[in-house]
Amino acid sequence: MTGKTSTVSVDDKQVEMAVKPGSIGPSVIDISKLYAQTGMFTYDPGFTSTASCESKITYIDGDQGVLLYRGYPIEQLAEHGDFLETCYLLLYGELPTPTQKADFDYRVTRHTMVHEQMTRFFQGFRRDAHPMAVMVGSVGALSAFYHDSTDISDPHQRMVASMRMIAKMPTLAAMAYKYTIGQPFMYPKNDLDYTSNFLRMCFGVPCEEYKVNPILSRALDRIFILHADHEQNASTSTVRLAGSSGANPFACIAAGIACLWGPAHGGANEAALQMLQEIGTPDRIPMYIAKAKDKNDPFRLMGFGHRVYKNYDPRAKIMQKTTHEVLSELGIKDDPLLDVAVELEQIALKDEYFVEKKLYPNIDFYSGITLKAMGFPTSMFTVLFALARTVGWIAQWSEMIEDPSQKIGRPRQLYVGEPQRDYVPIAQR
Ligand code: CMC
């Protein structure tokens, strides 16, 4: 074996395994031949030490608090770029030239409408359905409406499906919102940029002109950039696993949305705001800190902690700044929730429990306050996350499909159930 290797001893057997270096970040030990050579599997529930794939898209250094999309720091992209530029970067690997950007914006913009029959599909949901339930259903249903882009072996169809999803996600998300509040759906307006169009579809009504606030639009666009990708997190791994069987991309993204919904993942922004509301006033913070530290209490500080970041989440820093910008633009001088959040953050950052476990605010800690101030109900927070993450899911799914060595994902297990036994007829049990 050439290159660096690692040797594992199993019983009396020495097995040599290749060590693959990354361009930055930790190397990996290639254990793919371990079972064939030793008859043993590795065991890593929650994948805390397992790299599931090679990827060139996103890099995170959790100890340093670094997040790069295709090598570019998130801070620079959020400061200087726009969301569609980030989409282009994630999909194609390079920042677009002005011509490429104009062409990309044009292509996305021309796919923003959804099939008219989708509006009738929406009527099947209860009015009080959670918009994430509506998103799981409606995005999955896209595969029933766009048969001409579900053949994953055709690169052109894959590209069309990708454009469709990036373009239609804001339309579906706005429809999910409008449906729950009983207002008419707004058709997209193609002379608006991506995020302004989304704001208009959410907050505009057909009977009057909607004036986009450019500061709020820019802030939301930045929030989309922050959420666009995050390497092999739970929902992305779900999309890859679903896609590894050859399922069509609309179905795979619906699977990703389902996974994102959970409170330990994308649902944390909704849970974080609910927690801040429940705490209510800064004097009640110590009680909640004590609950979070109590081993016998399942309560956790939502918006705190991260599997990968053991330092301040770089997205949380940008989000905090965005929160202040949005509140100031809207003339909100005293937001009691912001007071609670700022104080809670200060107390937790000094508390021994949180310091020792390296629990820092994550992106979801401040995003809820910002989105609420913009007028979104809490039930829409995770929907906005899904909207922004769609490009990351698609980029990761495409990378996997285009990899010639790709095969179906099929983890193994440590079986701890009954050994083989004989069936007992029901009368004898
Ligand atoms: N509050 C109190 N204690 C916590 C918290 C928290 N938010 N997060 C982790 N801990 C403790 C946990 O109890 C454990 O303690 P011990 O070692 O004594 O058993 C230790 O810290 C390690 O936690 P873990 O659950 O083993 O770590 P994990 O990597 O499996 O979980 C996490 C990461 C994000 C699920 C977790 O920190 C959490 O539940 N946070 C709150 C939910 C949240 O904000 N999620 C959003 C993540 S960022 C957005 C996204 O990417 O989706």
Return the closest-CA partner of residue 201 out of 166, 168, 227: 168
Q: With helix as H, strand as E and coil as C, how does 156-205 read?
A: HHHHHHHHHHHHHHHHHHHHHHHHHHCCCCCCCCCCCCHHHHHHHHHHCC
Give per-residue pLDDT as tens, 164-190: 999 999 999 999 999 999 999 999 999
Cβ atoms of 229 and 90 closer than 8 Å: yes
In this predicted structure, what is the pLDDT of residue 149? 86
Residue with CA nearest ligand 1 atom 2: 300
- For the chain, give every domain's residue range: 5-51, 73-404
CATH superfamily of 73-404: Citrate Synthase, domain 1 (1.10.580.10)
In this predicted structure, what is the pLDDT of residue 386? 97
- Residues above pLDDT 90, as percent of the chain: 86
Element (H, E) at 242: helix 234-244
Q: With helix as H, strand as E and coil as C, how does 40-103 read?
A: CCCCCHHHCCCCCCCCCCEEEECCCCEEEECCEEHHHHHHHCCHHHHHHHHHHCCCCCHHHHHH
Listed in sequence order, the residues at least 6 apart from 133 whose beta carbon sits closer than 8 Å to its beta carbon are 125
Return the closest-CA partner of residue 332 out of 344, 323, 320: 323
Classify domain 5-51 at the CATH class level. mainly beta
Question: What is the arithmetic mean of pLDDT over 130-155?
Answer: 93
Residue type, 169: M
Weakest-pLDDT range from 96-100, 156-160, 234-238: 156-160
In this predicted structure, what is the pLDDT of residue 190? 93
Give per-residue pLDDT as tens, 363-372: 888 898 899 9
In this predicted structure, what is the pLDDT of residue 333? 82
Residues in the chain: 429
In this predicted structure, what is the pLDDT of residue 3? 85
Question: In this structure, how many other beta carbons lie within 10 angstroms of the beta carbon of residue 218?
Answer: 18
Residue with CA nearest ligand 1 atom 27: 307
Among 235, 293, 357, say which to mutate for ligand 1: greatest number of ligand atoms within 8 Å of CB: 357
Question: What is the arithmetic mean of pLDDT over 414-422?
Answer: 98
In the predicted structure, residue 1 carries a pLDDT above the cut 80: no
- CA angle (48 as vertex; 401, 344 as ends), nearest 5: 110
Give per-residue pLDDT as tens, 307-335: 899 988 999 999 999 998 999 999 988 88
Return the closest-CA partner of residue 130 out of 181, 175, 174, 180: 180
Q: How far apart are CA 368 and CA 391, in angstroms?
A: 21
Instruction: Confirm or reject: Cβ of 363 under 6 Å from ligand 1.
Output: yes
Give per-residue pLDDT as tens, 233-288: 999 999 999 999 999 999 999 999 999 999 888 888 888 999 999 999 999 999 99
- For all residues of the chain together, what is the average pLDDT? 94
Question: In this structure, how many other beta carbons lie within 10 angstroms of the beta carbon of residue 35?
Answer: 12
Instruction: Confirm or reject: Cβ of 306 under 6 Å from ligand 1.
Output: yes
Q: What is the pTM of this model?
A: 0.93
Return the closest-CA partner of residue 304 out of 238, 239, 337, 348: 348
Instruction: Confirm or reject: Cβ of 301 under 6 Å from ligand 1.
Output: yes
Which active-site residues does the annotation give? 306, 364
Residue with CA nearest ligand 1 atom 32: 306
Alpha helices (H) along 359-408? 363-374, 381-402
Give per-residue pLDDT as tens, 191-220: 999 999 999 999 999 999 999 999 999 999
Question: What is the arithmetic mean of pLDDT over 71-77?
Answer: 98
